Homo-oligomer: A and B are copies of this chain.
Amino acid sequence: MSGTLVVGQSGGSTATLSATLAGVLEAAQETAGIDRVYGMCNGIEGLLEERFIDLSAASDRLRAALRRTPAAALGSCRYALAEADAERALDVLRAHDVRYFIYIGGNGSALTVQSVNRWSRESGYDLQAIAVPKTIDNDLWGTDHTPGYGSVARFAALAAMDGGADSWALRSHDQVKILETFGRNTGWVTAATALAKTEESDPPHLIYVPERPLTKERFLQDVQDVFDRYGYAFVAVCEGLRRPDGSLLFASELAVDQDAFGRGQLGGVSSMLSELVATELGLKSRTDKPGTMQRACISLASSVDLAESFQVGGVAVAAAAAGETGKMVTLERAPGPAYRVATGLIDVDEVAGKERPLPDAFLNRAGNFVTPAYLDYVRPLLGEPLPNYVRFRAATVAKRVEESHPSA
């Protein structure tokens, strides 16, 4: 079976999803039966609008540059396919003799692969459709972790280390700092801030995730307790924090901020909690909200994540060439202390539209920090070890003024 391979990037950015594109291009060029390689501009939207980039002759230099490029070099989209799109999609696939469909994305993208695969089967059009996982959210079932997560975890850890060093140095002045990370429904990104802590007194002191509902009273009590113990408090919060009734602590109510699923845009829970700290506890409080840089900062990317992200692109092409379809590439961690990963395939039907929260074993009983089990899980994904910072914690020189100046 020979024909054209199309590859697209979909959903939110990661630091490494263009490294996956590079992996797809390299494998496609080495695979017999793949006559042409087209990139979809802005994912499935570009396919429906017949907007393609011919990448058949991608050079070594271009592929190397893609491995140093964050976010979607082809452009991305947040488009949910409807049945009404079937005919148009099949027309475009036929017109360009597309026989291999590789889609790099998250839960939503698995749905896209599911639809395209079903439509081609039903119309008797021979197509191999493979999903390649990509999301900072690390919330896909069937894979140990998702490409993109190791890098956002490293960024979150460094944001807590650097913001934490700043808080420690100025603890007499800045009393409370709240770091807000991404995560609409799961706390995987926020959890990684725990890697910044070496001693019990180090930031972060508290970590709140959507998997554990939070009340205003509980939050204020925790912050006051930490402040009383250490003289300052550094708190990491997930943008998608929930109340006990399941509602979001903060979501924009502006109509224009509703997404395709009618969900209000997040980002702002840290400001809300910071004002609460100032008004209710009378403590000076400030917020850090790195925003989209956290998911696109390839300068701080994990070397392990970069390598795995490139690898899964090649695995997807090999699977398609081998006749697989309707599958997503997975990463399977071998048991044992040493970090070893193998790739596999899972039926997209088992993945599409599902979300994997932080397991209970990764969250402490109090619901305000992670467990050692989580740290063991995440550490190998970060690549190079995190840096160590110098912190002079206590004076070592004896006071002399009183004895030398009894008057004083």
A: residues with CB less than 8 A from B are 9, 12-13, 18, 38-39, 41-42, 45-46, 50-54, 62, 65-66, 68-78, 87-88, 91-92, 94-96, 158-159, 162-163, 165-173, 177, 179, 252, 254, 256-257, 265, 267-268, 271, 275, 278-279, 282-293, 295-300, 387-392, 394-397, 399-401, 404-405, 408
Contacts and interface: CB of A to CB of B under 8 A. Distances in A.
Contact of A390 (B41, B73, B292): B73
A300 B298 contact: no
A403 B190 CA distance: 51
A405 B91 contact: yes
A96 B300 CA distance: 44
A50 B400 contact: yes
Contacts of A300: 299-300
> Taking the full assembly, how many copies of this chain does it contain?
2
Contact of A68 (B50, B291, B387): B387
B290 A41 contact: no
A32 to B, nearest CB: 22
B78 A170 contact: yes
B397 A38 contact: yes
Contact of A283 (B45, B78, B256, B296): B256
A70 B389 CA distance: 7
A169 to B, nearest CB: 4
A77 B172 contact: yes
A43 to B, nearest CB: 10
Contacts of A404: 91, 94-95
